[in-house]
Structure 1
Amino acid sequence: MDRSTPSWFITLLMLSLCAIPASSQDDTAYAKSLLKFKESLTNVTMLDNWREPVQKLCSWNTPVWNGCLCVNDSFWGLKLEGMGLGGKLDVDSLSELPLRSLSVMNNNFSGPFPSNINKLGKLRGLFLANNNFSGEIPDDAFSGMRAMTKVVLGDNSFMGKIPMSLLGLPRLVDLQLQDNQFNGRIPDFWQADLKVNFSNNKLEGAIPNTLRDQNASSFSGNLNLCGEPLDPCKRKNSTKKIAIIIAAVVVLALAAFIVLFVFYRRRQKPLKHEKSVDHLQTEEPNKGTVTYKNSEHGKLYFVRNDTQKFELEELLRASAEVLGSGSFGSSYKAVLFTGQTYVVRRFRNMSNVGKEEFYEHMRRLGRLTHRNLLPLIAFYYRKEEKLLITDFVENGSLASLLHGKRTPNQPLLDWPMRLRIIKGVARGLAYLYKELPMLTLPHGHLKSSNILVDATYEPLLADYALAPVINKDHAKEFMVAYKSPESTQNDMVTRKTDVWSLGILILELLTGRFPANYLKQGRGPSADLASWVNSVVREEWTGEVFDKDVSLARNGEGQMLRLLKIGMCCCEWNVEKRWGFREAVEKIEELKERDSDDDYSSYASEGDLYSSRAMTDDDFSFSKA
């Protein structure tokens, strides 16, 4: 290349050589591997757009399929976080991909550590935190993975020794193993700039010299760890008196264990928590079950008098099933030996209020009685965590009815049924506004997964009025109210914030589309569903905006359009222009299953919702922020 070649041409050529995207042929092959991997998963509603044909997995550096990661307009990895996924991770399918990052955090995976994970030789980050993985990790699990920089396995039930193959990862800078059951000594990690978190395990012995500059919190919760940055290790020449005391304690502990084992040997399968509850229950090393342990705090507090009382011990001995793991904690279906069925919600982010304040707020919630509220039955209090007990609702959540796979006997979620559901939601919310006037957010977490549907398809609001007892940082990161425009833009919420959540729910109910922003952590833009509806209405009115099952209502189009307008007016970005809650509820109550002669004409006389002037330009300002 001679000197006459323009400098801009040289620069362009260099840039093109540095970032050559994968060919469409490569992406077609990658797509087949991803679809094969999807077959090993369960509850894959969030991956519904993984369909062939697909020529490119990345378009302008944006993934075409949910959960894919793109770098330089090429497929890079998978970020399948908080999607409710289960099943197993098919490493063989993934090994056919140029995978640099794999994250399935905050899902429902269980069972052993994925076998042959080291087949993913290019992997730089592995994120399995907050699932239900268990068992020992093979010592050679990470052998040969020299590109690995981050290994995040916290909040599972792994046990055994920390794999020595982690020492063979020269680029490792982040290792998170907290809240598991790893035991034994910590290996002598040598990697420079390595940050670790080994808290809340069963590790013992002296902390290696190479890790003594870490924060003490990275080792807390391991009773037998010692050395900097924790307390100094005791000398080996302990006195004879200490040895005798230790021996006596061991004997007493063994005796207590034998007594408890004999007493409970006929108990049913106990309630399984994702983590042990300190001083309340402990996990048996080999079985992973939960054994009741007496505690001065081990008592349920019932907030209702119309429910048969039972002891915490009975709850822990009940047969149990994990229902799911969400942003606030895990849920379990517990069946007592009497046949009563309850749901146990476990919270770890309610430590911002004192005991008396917490008790008073729970008693206040226990006094609430309405056809469309899921009643609180009892609660258990400890500073570190809380349990909330409610009835079990057989039909599950509205989210599962809208977005899950329909069972053979499940009726069609048609317009009359959806109208009944949204009216029930509005009535339950109106009751909360009336009974909790002191709260800025009478609900605060209104979304389809927090609306249960009973046998008659009557909705029951759940997870309501918890904002006062949820830690503020956690609430701002996960609660739906804090994804509203006024919160993301001005760091504030108002009495109209629940109205915004109601509007998004209405649009979800009508369109059948899940508000994708609810899957995102943090407080980013939150009007994706509302913006999509707005764009359809602005461009050209078509029936595409409605879910196929609800669009079958031949005599209800006008009523559906009225509800669509209500939803959009509730989603107004400007809080001052947004409808008030009373106005929204009154408009919802006016809706009918069928149109009268003049219902539809006022909305569709000119062919579309926008041009008919059913709304003004101001009605669409929610999309302008």
Structure 2
Amino acid sequence: MLFSMMIKMSVKHNIFLSRVNVLVFVVFLNFITSSAVSDAEILVKFRQSLKNAGALSSWEENKSPCNGDHEIWNGVLCEQGTVWGLKLENMGLKGVIDVEALAQMPNLRTISFMNNNFDGPLPDLHKITAIKTIYLSNNKFSGEIPPADFSGMSSLKKIYLANNKLSGPIPESLAALPRLKELTLENNEFSGFIPSFPQDRLKVFNVSNNKLEGEIPNSLSGIDASAFSGNKDLCGAPLKACSAPSKVSIGAVVIVALLVVVAIAALVVVFIILRRCKKSPQQPDESTAANLKRMEQGQANNANASSPDHTGQGKKAEQSTKLTFLKEDGEKFDMPDLLKASAEILGSGVFGSTYKTSLNEGKMMVVKRFRHMNNVSKEEFNEHMRRLGRLNHENLLPIVAFYYRKEEKLLVSDYAENISLAVHLHGNRSRGIPCPDWPTRLKIVKGVAKGLAYLYNELPCLTAPHGHLKSSNVLLDATFNPLLSDYGFIPIVNQEHAQEHMVAYKSPEYKHTGRITKKTDVWSFGILVLEVLTGRFPSNFLQQGNGTDTDLATWVDSVVRDESNLELVLDRDMAGTGSSEGEIMKLLRVALRCCEVDVESRPEFKEVTAMVDEVKDKDDEFYSSYASEGDTRSSRGLSDDFHHVTFK
């Protein structure tokens, strides 16, 4: 009887367990089914929270956003068929960023909504726990950020919030992020003290032009002073010292000074003794520096004795002078090949000297020395150069290889047969060499526009993707195809040098507010086009006799307001303009729009590219007949359209 009861209880127990297992399985199945929402469904839901989202018309739920690594939808970044990033920049987007929807995407690692019109409080970003990079600069976000808003975001490496209207204290949770490397908060309204960020972790940091106060944490004292400028109540290194609470006696100062002098003297003695005891052969870096100096003096032909085989350092010297190549399929050579080759100095600019060298096979290369990147660590420099090395466009001069030394850097690139645009606009006149005609100049302008547009798309993190656009940095190949050089250098050039010499820092917005913006390169492009059309150096118009700061754009606009003065503006040596005055005027009009002093009035570069692309080398038949009939709005009459442009 007891045995029978035990069997019945066992059967009931098994039936109960079976039902529980079935229930658990059903619940699990429902969970899997409900959570398996596709990227397309999530993003379509996300788009519903946006306004002015016409640029996202390709987002259709019945179509996949990705095909392998190829993006089908506009603004998505794909890898192996899944969306790993959103790049919705310069689209005029408004509304709300639906973080709840984005948090459902397990592979989402980067979002960039820069240069849009989002406003209101910053989204609750910590819900996207696996995100690595966040770019929200150049919007209209406002209000305070809760102190714990970035808690738990252990994967976050980069966050860009510059040029918004955010206020209140900088959240302490930012300083607690274990992997944070880049943080830009400039041009907001943050107040209070700067949190203590860990030492030697941040590679990019900027809190300039806020309302911060107090002493800068010691962990940030090694960052360039420009990162803290525009906060009048900040003090401490690298800014001026904070006021001391009490005065130190003169006697104490004298004693400390004497101790310092004694310590320095002792160190000098020890150094001399060690130097005499062990006098080693010349070190590789010193050898390299000596060779470079001889190159600069035009004595590179005598540099053969400085190759690694003659230094006594063997493999160590060879490794220390090794070039890092950025293209796998290109020709490989080493530093001694460059140093022992005959060298010709092409010029000395604000960054350093440039040399043309010929390798053994006769291939011409260009080596450029940079002396003003000393504040950049080797890791940061290498990372940025590899980022630039991945760029590939017909109107960019590719960087073939680079060499890192703490004191100076070398960049190696191919040689451009026709040197630079500046030479053809200004340098060849005195030698009687014809200047480029109108079709050639238009070809160059269109190529520059395409190259800049590519930089805008591929370097969204940089405020000014080129930053140093001028005619001497537009090289020309054998067919006068333009190649942009010296692009993307703002993050690796010493700030004080950049502010003094780089074109971006000469823009009207920098002069007036101490800021550069995404439209700084637009202004530079406009000035370059005016230089191409007028044949005049932009710098020739600065600080003229009356002491006023007159730029090329202001001069051109003042002249062409009178319809009959177009010939006074155009370069007299520019041939091929007879039937093209209407198209030239069209390009001139684009240039002046780019040169608006008011940043908001300048067009986006995508719009600039479209306008330049519409310019032809000759007036069309309709226009020619229209002008030949004697209509008062002839080719020069188009200058009426300039009158809405405002300058100084």
Q: TM-score, normalised by structure 1?
A: 0.53
Q: Could you tell me which of 355, 358, 363 is aligned with 1:332?
A: 355
Matched, 1:291 2:290: no
Task: Give the CA RMSD over aligned residues.
Answer: 3.9
Q: Could you tell me which of 543, 555, 572 is aligned with 1:548?
A: 572
* Cα distance in structure 1, aligned partners of 2:576 and 2:336: 51
- CA shift, 1:299, in A, is 1.6
Q: Could you tell me which of 475, 482, 493 is aligned with 1:452?
A: 475
* Cα distance in structure 1, aligned partners of 2:644 and 2:570: 23
Q: Which range moved further: 359-368 or 347-356?
A: 347-356
Change (3 A) 1:354 1:371: same
Give the match for residue 155 of structure 1: none
Give the match for residue 476 of structure 1: 499
- CA shift, 1:355, in A, is 1.8
Give the match for residue 452 of structure 2: 429
Change (3 A) 1:512 1:290: farther
- CA shift, 1:288, in A, is 9.4
Give the match for residue 392 of structure 1: 415
* Cα distance in structure 2, aligned partners of 1:467 and 1:346: 16
- CA shift, 1:331, in A, is 0.6
Q: Does the 8 Å CA contact 1:442/1:465 hold for their aligned counterparts?
A: yes
Give the secondary-structure state (helix, strand or coil) at the position aligned to 2:621. Answer: coil
Change (3 A) 1:336 1:555: same
* Cα distance in structure 2, aligned partners of 1:498 and 1:434: 13
* Cα distance in structure 2, aligned partners of 1:563 and 1:235: 65
Which of the pair has more CA radius of gyration? 2
User: Once the two structures are superposed, what CA deviation does each residue of 1:98-134 show, in whole Å capped at 9, x if it has no partner?
Assistant: xxxxxxxxxxxxxxxxxxxxxxxxxxxxxxxxxxxxx
Change (3 A) 1:233 1:345: same
Give the match for residue 556 of structure 2: 533
Matched, 1:588 2:612: yes
User: Once the two structures are superposed, what CA deviation does each residue of 1:326-361 show, in whole Å capped at 9, x if it has no partner?
Assistant: 111111112222322211111111133322221111
Q: Does the 8 Å CA contact 2:421/2:474 hold for their aligned counterparts?
A: yes
Correspondence list, 1:170-209, <5 A: none
Give the secondary-structure state (helix, strand or coil) at the position aligned to 2:344. Answer: strand
* Cα distance in structure 2, aligned partners of 1:371 and 1:436: 16
Change (3 A) 1:599 1:495: farther
Give the secondary-structure state (helix, strand or coil) at the position aligned to 1:555. Answer: coil
Q: Which range moved further: 428-437 or 550-559?
A: 550-559
Give 1:344's aligned amino acid: V
Give the secondary-structure state (helix, strand or coil) at the position aligned to 2:599. Answer: coil
Change (3 A) 1:409 1:370: farther
Correspondence list, 1:26-175, <5 A: none
Q: Which range moved further: 499-508 or 302-311?
A: 302-311
Give the match for residue 378 of structure 1: 401
Unaligned runs of 5+ in 2: 1-256
Q: Does the 8 Å CA contact 2:428/2:434 hold for their aligned counterparts?
A: no
Q: Could you tell me which of 601, 610, 619 is aligned with 1:577?
A: 601
- CA shift, 1:407, in A, is 8.9
* Cα distance in structure 1, aligned partners of 2:432 and 2:592: 33
- CA shift, 1:406, in A, is 4.8
Give 1:492's aligned amino acid: R
- CA shift, 1:508, in A, is 0.3
Q: Does the 8 Å CA contact 2:439/2:576 hold for their aligned counterparts?
A: no
- CA shift, 1:228, in A, is 9.9
* Cα distance in structure 1, aligned partners of 2:323 and 2:389: 14
Change (3 A) 1:230 1:384: farther
Unaligned runs of 5+ in 1: 1-215, 217-226, 258-263, 277-282
Change (3 A) 1:478 1:412: closer
User: Once the two structures are superposed, what CA deviation does each residue of 1:479-527 show, in whole Å capped at 9, x if it has no partner?
Assistant: 111111001111111111101000000000000001116999xxx9875
Structure with the higher fraction of residues in helix conformation: 2
Matched, 1:302 2:317: no
Give the match for residue 641 of structure 2: 615
User: Once the two structures are superposed, what CA deviation does each residue of 1:125-163 show, in whole Å capped at 9, x if it has no partner?
Assistant: xxxxxxxxxxxxxxxxxxxxxxxxxxxxxxxxxxxxxxx
Q: Does the 8 Å CA contact 1:272/1:290 hold for their aligned counterparts?
A: no
Give the secondary-structure state (helix, strand or coil) at the position aligned to 1:599. Answer: helix
Taking CA–CA contacts closer than 8 Å with sequence separation of 6 or more, which of the two structures ends up with the larger relative contact order? 1
* Cα distance in structure 2, aligned partners of 1:546 and 1:271: 42
Give the match for residue 119 of structure 1: none
- CA shift, 1:306, in A, is 2.0
Give 2:597's aligned amino acid: W
- CA shift, 1:401, in A, is 0.3
Give 1:550's aligned amino acid: M
* Cα distance in structure 1, aligned partners of 2:466 and 2:548: 21
Q: Does the 8 Å CA contact 1:484/1:526 hold for their aligned counterparts?
A: no
Give 1:291's aligned amino acid: S
User: Once the two structures are superposed, what CA deviation does each residue of 1:265-310 show, in whole Å capped at 9, x if it has no partner?
Assistant: xxxx96555779xxxxxx99xx899834554632211111121111
* Cα distance in structure 2, aligned partners of 1:598 and 1:474: 51
Q: Does the 8 Å CA contact 1:371/1:428 hold for their aligned counterparts?
A: yes
Change (3 A) 1:310 1:578: same
Q: Could you tell me which of 569, 591, 595 is aligned with 1:567?
A: 591
User: Once the two structures are superposed, what CA deviation does each residue of 1:547-573 show, in whole Å capped at 9, x if it has no partner?
Assistant: 013254211111101011011111011
Give the match for residue 597 of structure 1: 621
- CA shift, 1:539, in A, is 3.8
Change (3 A) 1:361 1:247: closer
Q: Does the 8 Å CA contact 2:358/2:365 hold for their aligned counterparts?
A: yes
Give the match for residue 464 of structure 1: 487
Aligned length: 372
Q: Does the 8 Å CA contact 1:481/1:493 hold for their aligned counterparts?
A: yes
